[in-house]
Amino acid sequence: RRLGERWAIDGMWVTWDVGRRDTRPLRQRRHRLETLFGRVVDLSVSGAGIVAPTDDRFRVGSTLLIEAEGCRGTVAIHQIVETGVEGLTRYGV
């Protein structure tokens, strides 16, 4: 259950390691593990909504290593919602 109000956020981006080795050619790699970018669309004291590329391996309960503005942590996916835009999904964490 959500604690407090959820506030719309604009311009905050996060990265998360998807837990698999990046197999792209060396010149295209930035990290040892494959990294996805997501845009935070809303935020509350207990969670956030993040729009990111769809990944069929993500399920409710999946945990991800996340980084936002230099801070790292772990989040669990609690909700997965289609956005209506092909290739993008809203993840409630």
DSSP letters for 4-15 = S--EEEEEEEEE
Q: Which two tokens stand for residue 60?
A: 């409710």
Neighbours of 64 (CB within 10 A): 23
DSSP of 41-53: EEEETTEEEEEEE
- pTM of full prediction above 0.85: no
Residue 78 has pLDDT above 90, yes or no: yes
Percent of the chain with pLDDT over 70: 77
Look at residue 9 and tell me whether its pLDDT is greater than 60.
Answer: yes
pLDDT digits (tens, 9 = 90+) for 41-52: 999 988 999 999
